[in-house]
């Protein structure tokens, strides 16, 4: 890194300007995920500031989740995190597009099967009803971020499996071809360690934390058109929701 001594005549505190300078390098890709930052002493030299200023800037970047320290080794740029906003109704492809990330999928299974047990219960159909089953690994910028399966009543979307969902958005096909428009969803969130198959698919160590979101998606008329479950990498995802006051108390706005 070239020497970029900070101007001491500016009114903004030095640690904030150093934070902004390092943030700009992370945002622009000059400092890439996994890359080691210069040492505290080197940052002092590069920017002409004290060790206290450097520590304050690094603490702020770590608080934002942009860097992390490894004892005895140094400080590194963190992998970019992705947010999942429960208060907006968007599929994976839309979430990625909103955040400037290129989405893709690996289709593991795409088949017709009978809805049984919890799938039949949450789709509100009799056991044995023909359903579309779709299981995919979802990727952002070619990095596996989550593993997802979905059940849909085949009667709502006959022939949908002719589409290639390694590149297409399921919700976009439902809107454009079947006039099925998402209106609301219920969510159930839990955490558990990745099992062997999940760890292999997501390229993470066995036992890594996964955030699982089970969901039911409905149209404005209340028709359940999808039941699914998605396991998100906890090291790459943040779940965001908004609590609102109602006459019966606080609830999560979805």
For residue 110, what pLDDT is reported?
A: 97
For residue 89, what pLDDT is reported?
A: 61
3-state secondary structure at position 166 = coil
Q: What angle in degrees, to the nearest 10, is found between the helix axes of 51-63 and 14-28? A: 50
Cβ neighbours, 10 Å, residue 179: 9
- In 3D space, the residue among 73, 74, 58 whose CA is nearest the CA of residue 23 turns out to be 58
- What the block records as the tokens of 208 is 């890594």
For residue 180, what pLDDT is reported?
A: 95
**In whole angstroms, what is the distance from residue 122 CA to residue 143 CA?**
31
Point out the residues of the chain with pLDDT beneath 50: 3, 250, 252-254
- In 3D space, the residue among 230, 226, 217, 136 whose CA is nearest the CA of residue 191 turns out to be 230
- In 3D space, the residue among 37, 40, 48 whose CA is nearest the CA of residue 10 turns out to be 48
Contact, 24 vs 67, CB < 8 A? no
Which residue do the tokens 């090291």 mark?
235
pLDDT digits (tens, 9 = 90+) for 154-180: 999 999 999 999 999 999 999 999 999
Cβ neighbours, 10 Å, residue 32: 10
Cα distances from 120 to residues 129, 153, 218, 241, in angstroms, run 8, 9, 15, 28
Strand 242-246 to strand 249-253: parallel, antiparallel, or no bridges (unpaired)?
A: antiparallel
Strand partners, 191: 211
For residue 5, what pLDDT is reported?
A: 61
CA terminus-to-terminus distance, the chain: 45
Give the CA dihedral 41, 44, 49, 53, nearest 10 degrees: -60
DSSP assignment of 95-146: HHHHTT--EEEEEEEEEEEEE-HHHHHHHT--TTEEEEEEEEEEEETTEEEE
Complete domains list, the chain, with CATH: 14-77 (1.10.10.10), 82-253 (3.40.1410.10)
- What the block records as the tokens of 160 is 């949908």
């Amino acid at each position: 890194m070239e020497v970029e001594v900070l101007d001491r005549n500016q009114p903004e505190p030095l640690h904030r300007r150093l934070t902004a300078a390092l943030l700009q390098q992370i945002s622009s890709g000059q400092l890439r995920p996994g890359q080691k930052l210069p040492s505290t002493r080197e940052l002092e030299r590069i920017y002409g500031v004290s060790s206290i200023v450097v520590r304050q800037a690094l603490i702020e970047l770590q608080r934002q989740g942009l860097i992390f320290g490894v004892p005895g080794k140094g400080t590194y740029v963190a992998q970019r995190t992705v947010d999942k906003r429960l208060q907006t109704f968007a599929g994976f492809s839309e979430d990625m597009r909103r955040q400037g990330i290129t989405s893709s999928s690996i289709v593991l299974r795409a088949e017709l099967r009978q809805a049984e047990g919890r799938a039949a219960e949450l789709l509100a159909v009799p056991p044995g009803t023909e359903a579309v089953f779709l299981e995919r690994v979802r990727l952002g910028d070619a990095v596996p971020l989550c593993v997802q399966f979905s059940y849909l009543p085949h009667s709502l979307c006959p022939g949908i499996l002719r589409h290639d969902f390694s590149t297409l958005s399921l919700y976009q096909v439902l809107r454009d071809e079947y006039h099925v428009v998402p209106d609301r969803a219920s969510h159930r969130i839990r955490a558990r360690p990745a099992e062997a198959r999940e760890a292999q698919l997501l390229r993470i160590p066995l036992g890594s934390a996964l955030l699982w979101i089970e969901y039911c998606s409905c149209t404005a008329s209340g028709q359940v058109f999808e039941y699914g479950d998605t396991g998100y990498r906890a090291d790459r995802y943040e779940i965001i929701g908004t609590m609102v006051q109602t006459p019966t108390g606080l609830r999560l706005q979805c």
